[in-house]
Amino acid sequence: MSLRVAFLANRRFEFQVPQRTPWAESAWFPVVDDWGPEIASASKFQPDVTFVFEPLSRGGRRVNQIPGIKVGIVTQQPSQAELAEAVRRHRTGAGTLHWFTWFEEPPPAAKDLPLLGLVAATLDAQRLPFPPSLDRADVAIPAWAKPAGLPVSAKLLPANDDRRNLEEALSPFGILLYHSEAPLRLNDPVLLFALGHGQLLISNQPFPAECGLEQEDEYLVRPVKEWARIVEKEREGLGSLRAVRVRAFQKVRELFDASLVFRRLAHDALLLRNGGRTSPTRWPW
Amino acid sequence: MTIGFLVSDIANITGGVNAVIEHAWGLQRLGHRVRVVVLGQLPAQPPTWHPKLTNLALVSVDEAITERFDVLFATWWQTFFELWRFESRIYGYFNQSLESRFHPELRLKFLNRLTYSLPLLFLTEAKWLEQFIRLMQPKAEVVRVQNGLSEEFFPRVGKPSSRHSPLRVLVEGPWGFPFKGLAEAFEILDRAHTDVALEVGWLTSHSGGTHPVVGGAPVKIFERVPISKVHQVFREYDVLLKLSRVEGVFGPPLEMFSQGGTAICSAVTGSDEYMVHGQNCLLIDRLNEKRAGRYLALLGENSKYLDQLCRGAVETARQAPDWSTSTGLLNAALAKLVANHFDNSTLRPALKALAMARFGCFSAEPTPEPSGWLGRFLEQWRSSSV
């Protein structure tokens, strides 16, 4: 095993960083307010590829001393000022990152940044329980995804920035209800946790098809008024939706497992490092 | 043993039926009495797409009803609902994909889920399906046997052939099934063509009269090619482009590997069985599907990297089991079950009851009502089998 991969990320990204990478020697350097010590430690690690979460932050701009290829993982919309600064630095050659990934289609203002790919979400599947608890049927709903007039009794999950607390709060349940005015987005961690636990996700909205999650085979889309009936059927324990829960559990591992995703990214970051735009007609990614 | 396989269609070329034929032929060769039960119209002559069909007994339902099978396998999911019509000591299900994913209709998805509601003998080729079945039916007998790579029809090359310019790309799959991702593949090729010189072919069991165009040039179509000739098509190309969204375990990429080519494929269920990104192929998740264009440009420009992938692919194919090995493993598993007096013939009434579920017992929400007969039936079977 010759590849060395570093992850420079705040502790709140703990569940998005793979603990084990059979394909590389890897290390996670959890950054706090001052990135200095972690940048120094990562430099000593001598990585071939470093994944930098929050790359547009003040700390993320200081990673130039780390050897190897640096890939910025953008997980939420940056401020206009942060984005403008990143573009300015890249244009002037002062940028410290070779590549960026974006959590969704990047805004036009980011078009000059070198895009390695879209990474909507990752989850370290090794940390999730196996086998899933498929017989649980208690119902939870996030406080931020509760519709007016919820027709079914459900435990309210409070907003929580700490992924570990969120995962613990969610794990006793078997069904997650989720109301949204817009199509579901993978960057709400509660959704990926629920699916990864083999919970039955019922929402009034689908995920965009390009997310790869299969409606009705891996989660259900129903109007709010039908939620109570579906929940009741699942509680009856007939198992007719067990297949949906099993597939949700599997799909998270197939598509979003952090080890799998970062393996492909590390390979591509190295492979394409000299492959900038060679033609005006070439897609940027 | 008398071993049967229920098939709904033998006339059309599919990877799933190919696996059935190979196992049936292999078990027959090992001394078993094998019957391929055709549920639809029995063809007057065996179809010519697979040479081994001429050596297999294709029988009608009427004929099969008089048989006493030792093992009878359903194959395509809808054949599950026909198992009850035949007498067998062991009822099995050769399950090669989660076929509810083929259908958008809720009713069909629900019916498909019923096929996992009894502890049959499950035979599958995919690790993810084995896990799925074990989680669905913890007490079922599950046998996983990797599908073979036919040495006869796909004689493995020792090393990749020398590369040519332009990059030769083969698309594979039948037209008319959106989950096969063919339209997207041709669109990506058409856009990539402005950036890299391409020569494009399409291997298909059914073109539907479609004539794709890439870069203004018509795509060369290879339609309904007998399986014995398919390797010749693969050898004409460097890269297989396959962007399907649903698979059990991809067959064509491994066949391509055996002929010295590599592949750009979607990172779909089962792709992890033998495909390794950057080692023998390039994999793309759906969110980054358009990246295939970039990979094509890279392979067109970087023949050293293309050759590296092809060498990895050839090695992967070299390590894949031949069908005789795969069927040998199946035979051993069946022999062990028989030696242990495994018998699930008591499932026949339950199979019949589920078959009846197909007929008009659904509301707009196709899940069983707990108080209804299907609900009570499933509850009984669930409590006794899980």
Query: For residue range B29-86, what is the model confidence (pLDDT) as tens digits?
Result: 999 999 999 998 898 888 989 999 999 999 999 999 999 999 999 999 999 999 999 9
Asked if A239 lies within 8 A of B287 by C-beta distance, the reply is no
State what percent of residues in chain A have pLDDT above 70.
94
- Six token digits for residue B360: 């008009």
Same fold, B2-148+324-381 and B167-319: yes
| A57: CB partners within 8 A, 6+ apart | A82
pLDDT at A277: 41
Q: Is the pLDDT of residue A33 over 90?
A: no
**CB contacts, 8 Å: A2 with chain B:** none
- Six token digits for residue A189: 């961690």
**Looking at residue A215, what DSSP letter applies?**
B
Asked if A285 lies within 8 A of B291 by C-beta distance, the reply is yes
* B138: alpha, beta or left? (left if phi > 0; alpha if psi -120 to 50): alpha
The reply to whether A241 touches chain B by the CB within 8 Å rule is yes
Radius of gyration of chain B (CA): 22
The reply to whether A273 touches chain B by the CB within 8 Å rule is no
Asked if A237 lies within 8 A of B288 by C-beta distance, the reply is no
Identify whether the C-beta of residue B362 lies closer than 8 Å to the C-beta of residue B107.
yes
Asked if A216 lies within 8 A of B297 by C-beta distance, the reply is no
Outline where A174-257 has alpha helix (H): 189-196, 227-235, 242-255
Interface test with B, best of A1, A186, A229, A240 (most B CBs within 10 A): A240
At position B148, the amino acid (one-letter code) is G
**CB contacts, 8 Å: A217 with chain B:** 98, 100-101, 109
Digit-coded pLDDT (tens) for B138-174: 989 999 999 999 999 999 999 998 877 899 999 999 9
Q: Is the pLDDT of residue B243 over 70?
A: yes
A131: nearest CA partner in chain B = B135
Q: How far is CA B181 from CA B171, B175, B187, in A?
A: 10, 9, 10
Asked if B287 lies within 8 A of A236 by C-beta distance, the reply is no
Asked if A217 lies within 8 A of B128 by C-beta distance, the reply is no
CATH, domain range B2-148+324-381: 3.40.50.2000
Fold of B167-319: Rossmann fold (3.40.50)
**CB contacts, 8 Å: A285 with chain B:** 288, 290-291, 294
pLDDT at B375: 64
Instruction: Residue A29: name the closest of A37, A21, A38 by CA.
Output: A38
Tokens 């639809």 -> residue = B40
Digit-coded pLDDT (tens) for B279-337: 999 999 999 998 999 999 999 999 999 999 999 999 999 999 999 999 999 999 999 99
The reply to whether A217 touches chain B by the CB within 8 Å rule is yes
More confident residue, B165 or B202: B202
Q: Is the pLDDT of residue A281 over 60?
A: no
**Which residues does residue B123 pair with via DSSP β-bridges, in sequence order?**
B94, B143
ipTM: 0.93
Digit-coded pLDDT (tens) for A219-269: 999 999 999 999 998 888 667 799 999 999 999 999 999 999 999 999 999
Digit-coded pLDDT (tens) for A85-131: 999 998 888 878 999 999 999 999 999 999 999 999 999 999 999 99
Q: Is the pLDDT of residue B116 over 80?
A: yes
Instruction: Residue A203: name the closest of B128, A211, A194 by CA.
Output: A194
pLDDT at B369: 58
Domains in chain B: boundaries: 2-148+324-381, 167-319
**Which residues does residue B240 pair with via DSSP β-bridges, in sequence order?**
B170, B263
The reply to whether A242 touches chain B by the CB within 8 Å rule is yes
CA atoms of A228 and A33, how far apart (whole Å): 45
Digit-coded pLDDT (tens) for A175-232: 999 999 999 999 899 999 999 999 999 999 999 999 999 999 999 999 999 999 999 9
Interface test with A, best of B107, B284, B367 (most A CBs within 10 A): B367
The reply to whether A212 touches chain B by the CB within 8 Å rule is yes
B195: nearest CA partner in chain A = A282
pLDDT at B363: 47
Mapped to the 3 state alphabet, what secondary structure does chain B carry? CEEEEEECCCCCCCHHHHHHHHHHHHHHHCCCEEEEEECCCCCCCCCCCCHHHHHCEEECHHHHCCCEEEEEEECCHHHHHHHHHCEEEEEEEECCCCHHHHCCCHHHHHHHHHCCCCCCEEEECCHHHHHHHHHHCCCCEEEECCCCCCCCCCCCCCCCCCCCCCEEEEEECCCCCHHHCHHHHHHHHHHHCCCCCEEEEEEECCCCCCCCEECCEECEEEECCCHHHHHHHHHCCCEEEECCCCCCCCCHHHHHHHCCCEEEEECCCCHHHCCCECCCEEEECHHHCCHHHHHHHHHHHCHHHHHHHHHHHHHHHHHCCCHHHHHHHHHHHHHHHHHCCCCCHHHHHHHHHHHHCCCCCCCCCCCCCCCCHHHHHHHHHHHHHC
Q: To 10 degrees, what angle do helices B373-385 and B348-356 make?
A: 150
CA atoms of B142 and B122, how far apart (whole Å): 5
Instruction: Residue B241: name the closest of B305, B302, B198 by CA.
Output: B198
Q: Is A203 helix (H, G, I), strand (E, B) or coil?
A: strand
Q: How far is B183 from chain A (nearest CA, A)?
A: 15
- Six token digits for residue A159: 């907003």
Q: How far is A37 from chain B (nearest CA, A)?
A: 34
Report the residue from B116, B285, B293 with minimal CB separation from A283.
B293
Q: Is A30 helix (H, G, I), strand (E, B) or coil?
A: strand
Digit-coded pLDDT (tens) for B367-377: 555 556 666 66
Report the residue from B128, B291, B298 with minimal CB separation from A117.
B291
